[in-house]
Structure 1
Amino acid sequence: MRKLLACLSLFALTSLTIHAQYTETINSNRPGESQGGYAVGRGVLQLEAGPYYGNDDHSIYQEETEILGAGYGLRYGLLTENLEINLSGSFQAETTTVRIGNTDEEFKRSNFRTNTIGAKYLIFDPHKNAEEDKPNLYSWKANQRFKWKKLIPAISIYGGVNFSFGENPYLYEGEGKFSPKAVIITQNNWGRWALVMNFIADKFTEEFPTYGAIVTVTHALTPKLALFGEYQGYISDIYADDILRGGGAYLLTDDLQVDISGLVNFKDTPQRWQVAAGVSYRFDFHDQDEVLEDSYDGPRDRRRQRSEDSGYQLEGDSN
């Protein structure tokens, strides 16, 4: 654990070439489960939270669980435009009804389902120092040709620590109260479309680690309204599943976003559904002078282009 914390400290303090990721509108991970590739911007403090309600119906155990909870996230841009530290988690209350003989027995539990603190760092941005493509005045075909470099994503890495205090019923027997989490994040931006992928190794020092992936596709219908679809798959010896999510978000102001979403899975052990709503708010203390000094070549840098084309960057998190 000491080595893990030392690595996280070094990761948080390492400074590479500064490259602005700040956008003129809020950049939220909600309402999907994935993390986006870009940080919120140096000096930006962002809150993302919302309640969810759902049901798990297990066909073999003949039990049904009613779920009520709330997910939350706190994000802060630290030291450089590339670095973000964040805290994310959820508190959940469950009522499970089990058929025993001719009677139904109820069992209740509640606690923090997840709590993770960590840091995300952008290690590669294909737009960095990129010049805008100039039109070919002699060839219409050349202007319409697909540019393969658009397939190159931005890449970030994330390292975090899961933590729990007291007697938590959501920990399996023998699970430690502290465990590591690592994520490789990629993000492609194609005008009004964005593709985010997360490759996750969670609790990999424990007896039952979890490995998974999340793929999120977002489309901005208007500068204020965006829809998303998401697939999440994860495997472990404790539980494995495939989940689909969908929903949308609406930009009320440059710093305030609301969202709604739902999920279903593909199995009946248990069969799951869930609905969620939430809000994201940005406290913008970003140094505006730095944005202008750190802009890309050309009359309009790509940060502003992304903001104006899509309204905002819906990166993908939360229930």
Structure 2
Amino acid sequence: MKTYFALILSIIPLIGFAQYTDVINSNRPGASKSAYAVGVNVIQVEAGIYYVKEDHIPLQYDVSGVGTNFAARYGLLWEPLEIIVDGNFQTDTYTDYSSTIDSDYTRSNMKYFSMGAKYLIYDPNKKAGEDKPNLYSWKANRKFKWSRLIPAVSIYAGANYDTEFNPYTPYGIEGFSPKVSIATQHNFTNGWVFIMNLSKNRIGMKDSSDEDASDLQYIFTLTHGFGEKWVAFGEYQGIKSNFYADDLFRLGGAYLWKKNLQFDTAVTFNVKDTPTVFNLSFGASYRLDLHKDKVISEDNGTSAKEEAERLNNKDYYKFGEDEDKDKNKDTAPTEYKMD
């Protein structure tokens, strides 16, 4: 799930430099984004529907409605690079209780729409091969290593697009505005994954009162896999801006139906009354897997013709040793070096 399917992320250290996994790696149903990309030539769609209920006690209004959030992800050119288009559309009824006669208003618009690119700038798993086991000390292998606390880190840069007279955004803003974020990800043992996001949206935008219309968001997500199919998560999302501020909590889980298909559900709530928030969501993630592993050939200093002649030489032993000599040895060589 948004990390991210925790079970899948927990096996990433086993695949070395690649971020591609054999099964889908979704950001749903949380609000955070994982540090890792989907993999080159992987097209992934993540979408869901939700019911929302808000009740603002001091201002005497409530909101009830439904919405959909969606994301399209594509792994482009390199394993660390991912293109993302995501958004949230909501339609609801706003009921005003502040006057003698209640007033209802129907609203529909995009709460947000953004597009951009995410790039993994640091992957601790690249050094996993260098961290070889100590063949002489069981204690040394069990010793805690501080390097395990270093997370994977990715950066995101993109743009938001807002329409004019949008009831879900500060009044008076419209058009494109920059968006940047940073994501970190810890893949712990036993299926635990911890993700942190810090993002700044609508940078430089001003509302109709010439006030700063940008917002700062920070998200902390903890996921845990159970068996090969199930994962549960808990999440905290903080939002700070002049237009809206909140502390949201999410709980939920996901189920891996097939290797390219995941279903999920989550509940979102807060602990204040300005307004109270309750959100129930259901969704799915589907992956179109066009990924192909690259064949890496190592240059050993010989031409293609020389290599063919070497391999066709009946006196040449595949490990670079003379076959007859090895047969006459009392013991097998302790190590072979592949050409």
With normalisation by structure 2, the TM-score equals 0.77
Q: Distance in 2 between matches of 1:273 and 1:144?
A: 45
Aligned partner of 1:85: which letter? I
TM-score by length of 1: 0.82
Cα distance in 2, alignment partners of residues 236 and 113 from structure 1: 15
CA RMSD of aligned residues (A): 1.8
Q: Is 1:209 matched up with 2:208?
A: no
Query: Which amino acid in 1 is paired with 2:199?
Result: I
Matched, 1:240 2:237: no
Alignment-derived partner of residue 147 in structure 2: 149
How far does residue 68 in structure 1 lie from its aligned partner after superposition?
A: 0.6
CA deviation map 1:70-102 (0-9, x unaligned): 000000001111110010001100101111443
Q: Which amino acid aligns with 1:105?
A: S
Are the aligned partners of 1:43 and 1:286 in contact in 2 as well (CA < 8 Å)? Answer: yes
Structure 1 CA distance for aligned equivalents of residues 276 and 284 of structure 2: 27
Match of 2:285 among 280, 287, 297: 280
Deviation for aligned residue 1:106: 0.7
**Contact 2:263/2:285, CA 8 A, preserved across alignment:** yes
Q: Does structure 2 conserve the Cα–Cα contact (< 8 Å) formed by 1:241 and 1:266?
A: no
Q: Distance in 2 between matches of 1:223 and 1:133?
A: 27
- Inter-CA distance 97–216: structure 2 relative to 1 (3 Å threshold): same
- For 1:210 and 1:102, the matched residues in 2 are separated by 35
Structure 2: which 5+ runs fail to align? 1-15, 206-211, 298-339
Change over 3 Å in CA distance of 1:132–1:247 after alignment to 2: farther
Comparing 73-82 with 141-150, greater Cα deviation is found at 141-150
What is the 5 A alignment of 1:216-227? 216-227=221-232
* Residue 137 (structure 1) shift: 4.6
1:71 aligned onto 2:69: yes
Secondary structure (helix, strand or coil) at the match of 1:128 reads: helix
Instruction: Using the TM superposition, give the Cα deviation of residue 19 of structure 1 relative to its aligned residue in structure 2, in angstroms.
Output: 4.3
The one of 67, 87, 90 equivalent to 1:89 is: 87
| Equivalent-residue separation in structure 1 for 2:245 and 2:99 (angstroms) | 29
Cα separation, partners in 2 of 1:245 and 1:80, compared to 1, 3 Å: same
Distance 2:250 2:103 in 1: 31
- The 5 Å alignment of 1:177-192 reads 177-191=175-189, 192=191
- Please tell me whether the aligned partners of residues 164 and 172 of structure 2 are also in contact (alpha carbons under 8 angstroms): no
Residues 8-157 of structure 1 correspond to what in structure 2 (within 5 A)?
A: 19-131=17-129, 133-157=131-155
After alignment, is 102-111 or 217-226 more displaced? 102-111
Gaps in structure 1 of 5+ consecutive residues: 1-17, 295-319
Rounded Cα–Cα distance in structure 2 between residues aligned with 1:168 and 1:235: 19
1:262 alignment partner in structure 2: 267
Q: Distance in 1 between matches of 2:174 and 2:17?
A: 38
**Counterpart residue number, 1:197:** 196
Give the distance between the partners of 2:171 and 2:248, measured in 1 at CA.
26
For 1:268-307, what per-residue CA distance to the aligned partner results, in whole angstroms no more than 9, with x for missing partners? Answer: 100111010100000000013x1x649xxxxxxxxxxxxx
> How big is the shift at 1:266?
1.9
Residue by residue over 1:121-147, the C-alpha shift from the partner in whole angstroms, topping out at 9 and shown as x without a partner, is 001101114216444454443232211
Distance 1:245 1:56 in 2: 16
Q: What is the distance in 1 between the residues matched to 2:292 and 2:157?
A: 26
Q: Identify which of structures 1 and 2 has the higher relative contact order when contacts are C-alpha pairs closer than 8 Å and 6+ apart.
A: 1
Aligned pairs, number: 275
Higher strand share: 1
Aligned residues of 2:169 and 2:243 also touching (Cα < 8 A) = no
1:30 aligns to what SS in structure 2? coil
